[in-house]
Each structure stands twice: as structure tokens, then as C-alpha cells.
């Protein structure tokens, strides 16, 4: 009975939403990475990563698609339950894929599947004010939610490419309002992708929940990157915010530990990884 509790390393308390909030309050940067299988999950967990995301980026880095659009709920469940088996301390978030949260009922059904079948502790969905009702519905059922703003890869065909968002004042103001509305609706984390530093700092100051950035500058509460990007596995042109942490080491564990250390001591992101 309770064998999973006995197996835990008591010196490393598992991260939960309260841990993440207190890290924001203490000003300790939150180090996050994606993972898609148990072996890498074990490695990023051992490296000290606080939060692990089973991102729909798996559609690109695992399945070889050009976008995240083809990813299904079953795909995320398969990878999430594998990742969960590798984690000891990190908090597990799973992405709600494209068109899996078009109305509150469908969103709840799919979020429940990600938590029950995929063992996720939180779900992430993309979108601004249009998702307030969905987030309210999930929060009313005690489903922890991460709201993804800025560049929303599921909307790539509508946005016309993977581009920096929020450079125009009106768009930046709307994103700020959306972040506040999503927090009020019950979101527990805001994730900001590809926005100017200044907007990252403004969103961080406007909400009390942790703000995790990917290409959102140094002033947010934490950073996330795609694991295969920091390990130099992804080929081709990299987004500006990516840093290859395998440079100077042949150990993926060491590379992940260097990433965590760089997030914690704020040497990542450096000015060359940021947008203005």
C-alpha cells in the first residue's frame, strides 16, 4: 500500500502548484523543459528541472510534422503516461492539442483524460480572452490550467507563421488584458511565447500566478525550452531564444543540469536570446 510514496526521495519534495507560486514570491526562477518519454523524463528530473511539459511540440520533434496541428489527445496521453513514470520531483503538465477544447464540455472531458490516463497534474491550452469560459469551467472542476499566450503554434496557419507577437501597442495591451482575465478565470500559470522583453516584464507584473517564458525575456518567473533544442538534436534553423547546452559537454544529463543552473542564476536568457 502507498508504495509510490515509499519510493519517493524524501530529500526532494515533489513540486506542486503551491511550490511554483512560492518560487515566484521568493524570486527563484522556475526551470522548465519538455520531455516525451520516460528515459529523458528521468534525466531532466535528475537535472533539477522543476516543471516538465509534454508539449504538442512532439508533433514536430517526435512525429516529424511541420506544425503541432496533427497532434491528438491520444498522442499526448501516450507520451504523458511514459513521462510520468520517469519523474520523481518535477511537476507534470500536458498540452491540450489543437481542437481538443472548443467548448467547455469537450475541454473538461479531454482534460480529465489527460489527468486520469496521462497522469498529468495540469493541462495547458493556447489562447486569450476567447478561452476564459473554458478556463473557468476547468477551474470550477479543480483542473489546474496553464494558459499559453503570445505566439500560439496551434494557430500558425491563422497567424501566418511562427512570428514574434505583441510588438504593436494594441496587441501588447490586449495580451496584458488577456493574461489578467485568464488569471481571474482560474489559470494557475501563464506561459508566454515569443514576445518582446518589455511585454514579458509587464505580464509578469500584472498577474500573481507564475509566468513562464519561451522567448519572453529575462524578467518572467521561469523559462521553458524544447528538450531536443537544448540538446542540439533538432536540425535546421533555430529560433533566436534557443541555446544549445550540449556545447562543451558530451553528457545530456550535464547539458540539462547546465540549463537548470543557467535559468536559476539568470545567465539564460542572455540578450542574444531576447526580442525587443
- Look up 193 and say whether it is catalytic: yes
Establish if 229 lies at the interface with ligand KIV (CB under 6 A). Answer: no
Q: From residue 60, give the alpha-carbon distance in Å to each of 37, 44, 69, 101, 208.
A: 15, 20, 9, 21, 32
Q: Is the dihedral of CA 183, 171, 95, 25 positive or negative?
A: negative
Binds ligand KIV by CB under 6 A, chosen from 179, 226, 260, 274:
226
CB of 197 closer than 8 Å to CB of 209: no
Binds ligand KIV by CB under 6 A, chosen from 49, 57, 223, 234:
57
Q: Given the complex with ligand KIV, which of 89 and 152 has the nearer CB atom?
A: 152
Angle 243-43-48 from CA coordinates, rounded to 5°: 75
Q: Given the complex with ligand KIV, which of 53 and 219 has the nearer CB atom?
A: 53
Establish if 110 lies at the interface with ligand KIV (CB under 6 A). Answer: no
Q: Is the dihedral of CA 80, 81, 82, 83 positive or negative?
A: positive
Binds ligand KIV by CB under 6 A, chosen from 83, 224, 231, 242:
224
Considering only the stretches 55-63, 161-169, 252-260, 265-273, report the one whose residues sit in contact with ligand KIV under the rule CB under 6 A: 55-63
Q: Given the complex with ligand KIV, which of 113 and 124 has the nearer CB atom?
A: 124
Establish if 34 lies at the interface with ligand KIV (CB under 6 A). Answer: yes
Quote the cell numbers at residue 269. 536568457
Q: How far apart are CA 83 and CA 30, in angstroms?
A: 19
Binds ligand KIV by CB under 6 A, chosen from 29, 55, 127, 196:
55
Q: How far is the CB of 135 from ligand KIV (least distance, A)?
A: 16
Quote the cell numbers at residue 229. 533544442
Q: How far is the CB of 153 from ligand KIV (least distance, A)?
A: 7
Binding mask 114-153 vs ligand KIV (x if CB under 6 A, - otherwise)? ----------------------------------------
Q: How far is the CB of 53 from ligand KIV (least distance, A)?
A: 6
CB of 41 closer than 8 Å to CB of 82: yes
Which long-range contacts does 21-28 make (Cβ < 8 Å, 24+ apart)?
21/208, 21/209, 21/210, 23/50, 23/210, 23/221, 23/222, 24/208, 24/209, 24/210, 24/211, 24/221, 28/264
Catalytic residue among 193, 198, 254, 272: 193
Considering only the stretches 53-61, 106-114, 175-183, 198-206, report the one whose residues sit in contact with ligand KIV under the rule CB under 6 A: 53-61
Where on the chain is the footprint of ligand KIV (CB under 6 A)? 34, 53, 55-57, 95, 191, 193, 214, 224, 226
Catalytic residues: 193
Amino acid at each position: 500500500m502507498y508504495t509510490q510514496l515509499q519510493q519517493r526521495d524524501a530529500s526532494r519534495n515533489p513540486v506542486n502548484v503551491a511550490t511554483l507560486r512560492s518560487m515566484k514570491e521568493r524570486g527563484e526562477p522556475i526551470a522548465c523543459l519538455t520531455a516525451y518519454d520516460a528515459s529523458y523524463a528521468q534525466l531532466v528530473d535528475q537535472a533539477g528541472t522543476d516543471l516538465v511539459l509534454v508539449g504538442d511540440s512532439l508533433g514536430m520533434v517526435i512525429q516529424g510534422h511541420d506544425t503541432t496541428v496533427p497532434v491528438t489527445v491520444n498522442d499526448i496521453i501516450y507520451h504523458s503516461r511514459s513521462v510520468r513514470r520517469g519523474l520523481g520531483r518535477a511537476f507534470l503538465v500536458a498540452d491540450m492539442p489543437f481542437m481538443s477544447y472548443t467548448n467547455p464540455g469537450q475541454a473538461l472531458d479531454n482534460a480529465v483524460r489527460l489527468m486520469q490516463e496521462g497522469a498529468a497534474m495540469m493541462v495547458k491550452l493556447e489562447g486569450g480572452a476567447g478561452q476564459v469560459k473554458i478556463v473557468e469551467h476547468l477551474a470550477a472542476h479543480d483542473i489546474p490550467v496553464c494558459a499559453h499566450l503570445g505566439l500560439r503554434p496551434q494557430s500558425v496557419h491563422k497567424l501566418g507563421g511562427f512570428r514574434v507577437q505583441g510588438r504593436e501597442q494594441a496587441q501588447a495591451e490586449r495580451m496584458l488584458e488577456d493574461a489578467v482575465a485568464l488569471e481571474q478565470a482560474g489559470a494557475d500559470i501563464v506561459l508566454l511565447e515569443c514576445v518582446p522583453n518589455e511585454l514579458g516584464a509587464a505580464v509578469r507584473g500584472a498577474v500573481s500566478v507564475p509566468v513562464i517564458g519561451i522567448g519572453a525575456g529575462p524578467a518572467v518567473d521561469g523559462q521553458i525550452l524544447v528538450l531536443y533544442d537544448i540538446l542540439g538534436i533538432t536540425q535546421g534553423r533555430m529560433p533566436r531564444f534557443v541555446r544549445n547546452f550540449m556545447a562543451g559537454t558530451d553528457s545530456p544529463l550535464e547539458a540539462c543540469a547546465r540549463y537548470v543552473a543557467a535559468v536559476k542564476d539568470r545567465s539564460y536568457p542572455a540578450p542574444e536570446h531576447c526580442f525587443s
